[in-house]
């Protein structure tokens, strides 16, 4: 009997190494086609429908809803189309198989084989059928256990090595030729190695395990001996059920919520930002009356295509980043010939402007790609589109993880200011507070004006207060005199 093909959970992009299985879209015994969605999984960035690269009958579902699966582990086993017919045509295991009669099943099998060769072209981040790229997708038939465990899939060491080769086709964001496996990514993450700053020693710049190991600074043996037992103790989970009494406060426990998905990613990123980035904050009150009046005038003439205030401010921010490019960079760790480590500031040709969006799944930061090349109207349309996408949980990792600077409109929450945490590995975030009526001196006289507060948090390693203050003042002046600034953009 033809053994099932095992589909491994594919790489989901942006360094993600695990996903939570939300629910299955198929059941054991179902007939499925190539690229049919088989499961919904939730990563730290978005909800993703995973398509099947195989056509056939679902044999095994590897996992239960709510379970966290690692990239590269079995997701589903599929018995290929036509396997049953070819099996029944063979009288014994050792006999020569008879020619399969022409049938719809045989025709479907041939269609499946042609799809396997040509590829459907549908691509999930880091995975997909070849579809014209000239690269054949490798598949394998796994070993089957015997007896009561006949439904379980056993993966040998050789097969694991082969699977790792498949996973090594994963792209590192921002580096076209450097590809790494999730195992290498996890090693780098656990040791704080920035893969974006490594030069791979493999073919076409591929980042290998040895490259990450070379970038890891060895710990003293004595320190390792002392700290080795600690991770096991720290990772011991608390009881998952509610009830009981908290030992620290003496209060009753009403519930426990696992930190996972988006909340887990946000917590990890914010902790890393605060621990690694020496941040500083500057702020200024701004008279936004002229901008509010400008938009009101545009809305009267074209009520359906007038950009929002955030789009105008985004336009000013991208212009300011061109003038002060130090804030549109990131810091990466580099290695030297002596085995030591250093740092360098990486500048970008363009701005991918991230903006904070509150969703039911938590705070998301989608980014407008090449925002510096868009008009205020184009920025407004893209901001609205991305906001809708993230709130539906359908944003791709590429839409969520490639920002170079973040704009945060916390005025929608009715607050004036906030010392925001930088979205690592970026080096700056600009916050905009609510716009309210305040007393303001205009031409020596007191007047009521529309006032907002801008707050800039920046990485002090990439620039000093003069650069940060200059950028903040540029954006503030643009808000106060939007007509003259827009004329120059």
pLDDT digits (tens, 9 = 90+) for 269-283: 889 898 999 999 999
**pLDDT the model gives residue 400:** 82
What digits encode the pLDDT tens for the residues 25-48? 999 999 999 889 899 887 766 677
Which of 107-111, 302-306, 381-385 is least confident? 107-111
Q: Is the pLDDT of residue 179 over 80?
A: no
Q: Which comes out higher in pLDDT, residue 250 or 460?
A: 460
Please state the rounded mean pLDDT for residues 48-66: 89
**CATH second-level architecture of 5-90+98-167?**
Beta Barrel (2.40)
What is the CB-side half-sphere exposure of residue 465 using CA atoms within 13 A? 4
Query: Residue 104 in 3-state DSSP?
Result: helix
460 catalytic? Reply is yes
Q: Is the pLDDT of residue 326 over 90?
A: yes
Q: Which of 9, 3, 16 is nearest to 401 (CA)?
A: 16
Give me the residue label for tokens 């790494």: 180
Q: Which of 420, 372, 113 is nearest to 266 (CA)?
A: 420
Helices (H), 196-288: 209-215, 221-227, 230-234, 261-276
Domain 262-488 annotated CATH 3.30.559.10: yes
Residue 217 is given by DSSP the state P
Q: Is the pLDDT of residue 160 over 60?
A: no
Helices then strands, counting H and E runs in the chain, come out as 14, 25
Q: Which of 60, 20, 57, 6 is nearest to 36 (CA)?
A: 57
Q: Where are the domains positioned within the chain?
A: 5-90+98-167, 175-215, 262-488
Catalytic residue among 133, 191, 305, 460: 460
Q: Is the pLDDT of residue 223 over 50?
A: no
**pLDDT the model gives residue 66:** 82
What is the CB-side half-sphere exposure of residue 348 using CA atoms within 13 A? 23
DSSP string, 288-345: -HHHHHHHHHHHHH-TTSPPPHHHHHHHHHHHHHHHSGGGSEEEEEEE-TTS-EEEEE
**pLDDT the model gives residue 171:** 41
Residue 62 is given by DSSP the state -
Q: Do residues 457 and 280 lie in contact, with contact meaning Cβ atoms separated by under 8 Å?
A: yes
What digits encode the pLDDT tens for the residues 97-118? 444 444 444 454 444 344 334 4
Structure tokens at 353: 């402007």
What digits encode the pLDDT tens for the residues 230-276? 333 333 344 445 678 888 888 988 988 887 776 777 788 889 898 99
Q: CA angle, corner 370, sides to 382 and 481, nearest 5? A: 75
Domain 175-215 annotated CATH 4.10.320.10: yes
List C-alpha distances in Å: 207 to 34, 177, 183, 263, 424. 31, 9, 11, 29, 22
Query: Residue 368 in 3-state DSSP?
Result: strand
Q: Is the pTM of this model over 0.75?
A: no
Q: Is the pLDDT of residue 396 over 90?
A: no
**pLDDT the model gives residue 15:** 57
Q: Is the pLDDT of residue 53 over 70?
A: yes
Q: Do residues 254 and 242 lie in contact, with contact meaning Cβ atoms separated by under 8 Å?
A: yes
Q: Is the pLDDT of residue 435 over 90?
A: yes
Query: Cα dihedral angle (371, 372, 375, 381), rounded to 10 degrees?
Result: 0
Q: Is the pLDDT of residue 151 over 80?
A: no
Which of 117-126, 146-155, 202-211, 348-357 is least confident? 117-126
**pLDDT the model gives residue 112:** 38
């Amino acid at each position: 009997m033809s053994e099932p093909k095992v589909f491994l959970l594919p790489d989901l992009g942006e360094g993600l190494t695990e996903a939570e299985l939300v629910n299955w879209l198929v059941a054991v015994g179902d007939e499925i086609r190539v690229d049919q969605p088989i499961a919904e999984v939730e990563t730290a960035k978005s909800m993703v429908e995973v398509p099947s690269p195989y056509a056939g009958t679902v044999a095994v579902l590897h996992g239960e809803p709510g379970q966290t699966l690692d990239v590269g582990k079995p997701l589903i086993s599929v018995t290929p189309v036509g396997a049953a017919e070819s099996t029944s045509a063979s009288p014994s295991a050792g006999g020569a198989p008879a020619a399969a009669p022409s049938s719809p099943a045989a025709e479907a099998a041939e269609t499946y084989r042609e799809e396997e060769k040509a590829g459907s072209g549908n691509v999930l981040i880091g995975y997909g059928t070849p579809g014209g790229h000239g690269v054949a997708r490798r598949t394998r038939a796994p070993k089957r256990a015997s007896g009561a465990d006949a439904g379980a899939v056993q993966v040998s060491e050789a097969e694991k090595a082969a699977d790792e080769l498949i996973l090594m086709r994963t792209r590192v964001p921002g580096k076209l030729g450097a590809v790494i496996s999730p195992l290498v990514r996890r090693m780098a993450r656990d040791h704080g190695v920035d893969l974006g700053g490594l030069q791979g020693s493999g073919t076409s710049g591929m980042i290998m395990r040895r490259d990450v190991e070379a970038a890891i600074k060895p710990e003293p043996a004595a320190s390792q001996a002392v700290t080795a037992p600690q991770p096991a103790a720290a990772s011991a989970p608390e009881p998952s059920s509610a009830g009981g009494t908290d030992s620290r406060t003496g209060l009753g426990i009403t519930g426990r919520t696992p930190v996972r998905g988006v909340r887990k990613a946000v917590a990890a990123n914010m902790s890393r930002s605060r621990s690694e980035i020496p941040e500083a904050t500057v702020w200024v009150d701004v008279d936004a009356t002229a901008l509010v009046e400008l938009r009101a005038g545009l809305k009267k003439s074209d009520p359906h295509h007038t950009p929002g205030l955030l789009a105008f401010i985004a336009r000013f921010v991208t212009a300011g980043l061109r003038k002060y490019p130090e804030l549109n960079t990131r810091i990466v760790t580099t290695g030297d010939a002596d085995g030591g480590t250093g740092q360098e500031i990486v500048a970008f040709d363009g701005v991918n402007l991230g903006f904070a969006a509150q969703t039911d799944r938590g705070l998301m930061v989608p980014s407008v790609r090449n925002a510096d090349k868009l008009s205020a109207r184009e920025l407004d349309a893209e901001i609205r589109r991305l906001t809708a996408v993230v709130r539906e949980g359908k944003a791709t990792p590429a839409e969520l993880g490639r920002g170079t600077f973040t704009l945060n409109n916390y005025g929608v929450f009715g607050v004036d200011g906030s010392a925001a945490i930088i979205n690592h590995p970026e080096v700056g975030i600009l916050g905009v507070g609510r716009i309210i009526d305040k007393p303001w001196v205009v031409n020596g006289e007191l007047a009521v004006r529309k006032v907002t507060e801008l707050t800039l948090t920046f990485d002090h390693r990439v620039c000093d207060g003069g650069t940060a203050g200059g950028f903040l003042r540029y954006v503030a002046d643009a808000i106060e005199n939007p007509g003259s600034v827009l004329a120059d953009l």
